[in-house]
């Protein structure tokens, strides 16, 4: 099941990019064991755990990592893992006694994956931050928004999940492949600022060529060009147009009924305001659904801007099975897809400690050891 079947991952419980990385690996078939805190107050979540989508497909063991016995139990699990992933500030796991040196001494083949905002080194490594801060310093945020307006944070998709969690998952899998060849593990330092910069590689290439201006909303793909933008329709909804290539642009004009109008050349920047007004006026004359029908099966690079509910119900997305319903929680299905080793969601998100006894047994702890750990309150189950 899944291309990562047989791979064992230990995840130190946290929020954001590390759990997202763990979800990606679990979706691909890896056995992901999440170490949650054992304090009673941390066992119950603020709300129903089934909504913690980033924890789907994982098992949970609750361990007191402030206890030397708990640290030893965690190290026993780590010694049997292909990789460990964590998302704490630099130095936190070292202070716990679970830093890379300790873990790699117990398991030389281990891939130690860590994700932070600023990275494990550098003058800002220990400074607090969030997605918006990392992409701001990387020059990413400055590029997103309309001309004359302030930058627009693109949710937390670029720093946390794209530049952080996805790059950590990529790094971990790369390092696992290398460890299987060499027998030696290593540390993967995934920094959200690095990942965000990497995602901007193409833009930096255009900038070096002189084809990208730092002023927002003046470039071909940042709403500067009228043929790559979002427009309001007659019913106050929106459509997205991305007709960059010449033949796609001509198809756009034809479907809009503008092909015979006296309009500026597509790449005449001085004429972009007049071209934008013509497109905007025409699109405002009909509803979003009208335009969707007019552009059906066209190569004009057109799409209606859908809400989440509308996206779930869209025929193309439904046909591909791009969403899954897990216990009444509709969520994106695993991606990407494979022709042979099909990934799937193995289970709903666990309550912290839900699999403590079963997971410890599966990872080599004896019944007597598990009873002793429970009695000493070094580990906890979800119902105790």
In the annotation, is 160 catalytic? yes
Contact present, 103 and 187 (Cβ < 8 Å): no
Question: Over the stretch 3-43, which tens digit does the pLDDT of each residue have?
Answer: 999 999 999 999 999 999 999 999 999 999 999 998 754 44
User: What's the confidence (pLDDT) of residue 240?
Assistant: 98
User: What's the confidence (pLDDT) of residue 167?
Assistant: 98
CB atoms within 10 A of CB 161: 21
Question: Mapped to the 3 state alphabet, what secondary structure does 313-362 carry?
Answer: HCHHHHHHCCEEEECCEEEECCCCCCCCCCCCCCCCCCCCCCCHHHHHHH
- Work out whether the CA dihedral 367, 369, 374, 380 comes out positive or negative: negative
Of 304, 191, 197, the closest CA to residue 242 belongs to: 304
Name residues whose C-beta falls within 8 Å of residue 15's C-beta, 6 or more positions apart in sequence.
87
Rounded Cα–Cα distance for residues 40 and 213 (Å): 54
Backbone angles phi, psi at 9, to 5 degrees: -125, 135
Using DSSP, state whether 284 is helix, strand or coil: coil
Question: Over the stretch 214-258, which tens digit does the pLDDT of each residue have?
Answer: 999 999 999 999 999 999 999 999 999 999 999 999 999 999 999
Tell the CATH superfamily of the 228-232+238-304 domain: formyl-coa transferase, domain 3 (3.30.1540.10)
- Work out whether the CA dihedral 125, 126, 127, 131 comes out positive or negative: positive
Tell me the two tokens of residue 54. Answer: 């980033």
Pairing of strands 329-332, 323-326: antiparallel
What stretch(es) of the chain map to CATH 3.30.1540.10?
Answer: 228-232+238-304
Rounded Cα–Cα distance for residues 184 and 164 (Å): 24
**Average pLDDT score over residue span 335-357:** 95
CA atoms within 13 A on the CB side of 314: 17
**Average pLDDT score over residue span 130-156:** 97
Rounded Cα–Cα distance for residues 45 and 292 (Å): 43
* Catalytic, out of 27, 36, 82, 160: 160
Residue entry with tokens 């025929």: 315
Backbone angles phi, psi at 22, to 5 degrees: -60, -40
**Average pLDDT score over residue span 148-162:** 97
Average pLDDT, the chain: 95
Instruction: Report which DSSP code applies to 189.
Output: E
CB atoms within 10 A of CB 176: 22
Rounded Cα–Cα distance for residues 213 and 142 (Å): 11
User: What's the confidence (pLDDT) of residue 42?
Assistant: 47
Q: DSSP 3-state helix, strand, coil percentages of the chain (rounded to 5)?
A: 40, 15, 45
* Catalytic, out of 42, 130, 290, 299: 130
H helix or E strand, kind and range, residue 373: helix 367-375
- pLDDT value at 382 more than 60: yes
Question: Over the stretch 366-376, which tens digit does the pLDDT of each residue have?
Answer: 999 999 999 99
pLDDT band of 45, cuts 50, 70, 90 = very low
Q: List b or e across 325-357, with b for residues whose CB sees 16 or more CB atoms inside 10 angstroms.
A: ebeeeebebbeeeeeeeebebbebbbbbbbbbb
User: What's the confidence (pLDDT) of residue 44?
Assistant: 44
User: What's the confidence (pLDDT) of residue 50?
Assistant: 86
pLDDT band of 49, cuts 50, 70, 90 = confident
User: What's the confidence (pLDDT) of residue 383?
Assistant: 67
User: What's the confidence (pLDDT) of residue 39?
Assistant: 73
User: What's the confidence (pLDDT) of residue 38?
Assistant: 85
User: What's the confidence (pLDDT) of residue 48?
Assistant: 80
Contact present, 342 and 32 (Cβ < 8 Å): no
In the annotation, is 383 catalytic? no
Pairing of strands 31-37, 8-12: parallel
pTM of the model: 0.94
CB atoms within 10 A of CB 154: 16
User: What's the confidence (pLDDT) of residue 286?
Assistant: 98
Name residues whose C-beta falls within 8 Å of residue 330's C-beta, 6 or more positions apart in sequence.
312, 323, 324
* Percentage above 70 pLDDT, the chain: 97
Task: Choose the CATH number for 8-199+323-380 among 3.40.50.10540, 3.30.365.10, 3.30.160.20, 3.40.50.10420.
Answer: 3.40.50.10540
Question: Over the stretch 270-329, which tens digit does the pLDDT of each residue have?
Answer: 999 999 999 999 999 999 999 999 999 999 999 999 999 999 999 999 999 999 999 999
CB atoms within 10 A of CB 260: 8
Tell me the two tokens of residue 45. Answer: 């979540």
What stretch(es) of the chain map to CATH 3.40.50.10540?
Answer: 8-199+323-380
């Amino acid at each position: 099941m899944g291309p990562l079947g047989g791979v064992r991952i230990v995840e130190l419980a946290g929020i954001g990019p590390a759990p997202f990385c763990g979800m990606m690996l679990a979706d691909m078939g890896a056995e992901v064991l999440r170490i949650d805190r054992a304090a009673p107050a941390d066992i119950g979540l603020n709300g129903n755990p089934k909504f913690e989508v980033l924890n789907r497909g994982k098992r949970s063991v609750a361990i007191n990592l402030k206890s030397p016995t708990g640290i030893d139990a965690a190290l026993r699990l780590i010694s049997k893992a292909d990789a460990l992933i964590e998302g704490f500030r630099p130095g936190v796991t070292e202070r716990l006694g679970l830093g890379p040196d300790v873990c790699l001494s117990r398991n030389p083949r281990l891939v130690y994956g860590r994700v932070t905002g600023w990275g494990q080194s550098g003058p800002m490594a220990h400074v607090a931050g969030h997605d918006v801060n990392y992409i701001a310093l990387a020059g990413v945020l400055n590029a997103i928004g309309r001309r004359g307006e302030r930058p627009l944070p693109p949710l937390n998709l670029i720093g946390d999940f794209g530049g952080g969690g996805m790059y950590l998952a990529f790094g971990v899998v790369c390092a696992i492949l290398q460890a299987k060849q060499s027998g030696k593990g290593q540390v993967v330092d995934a920094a959200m600022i690095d990942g965000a910069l990497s995602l901007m590689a193409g833009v930096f290439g255009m900038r070096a060529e002189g084809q990208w201006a730092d002023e927002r909303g003046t470039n071909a793909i940042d709403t500067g060009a009228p043929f790559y933008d979002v427009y309001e329709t007659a019913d106050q909804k929106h459509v997205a147009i991305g007709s960059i290539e010449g033949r796609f642009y001509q198809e756009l004009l034809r479907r809009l009924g503008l092909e015979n109008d006296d309009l500026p050349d597509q790449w005449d920047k001085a004429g972009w305001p007049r071209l934008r007004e013509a497109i905007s006026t025409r699109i405002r004359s009909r509803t979003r659904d009208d335009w969707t029908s007019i552009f059906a099966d066209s190569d004009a690079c057109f799409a209606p801007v859908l809400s989440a509910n509308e996206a779930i119900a869209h025929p193309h997305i439904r046909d591909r099975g791009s969403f899954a319903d897990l216990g009444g929680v509709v969520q994106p299905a695993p991606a990407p897809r494979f022709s042979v080793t099909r990934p799937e969601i193995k289970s709903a998100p666990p309550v912290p400690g839900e699999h403590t006894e079963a997971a410890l047994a599966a990872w080599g702890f004896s019944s007597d050891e598990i009873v002793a750990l429970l009695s000493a309150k070094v580990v906890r189950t979800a119902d105790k």
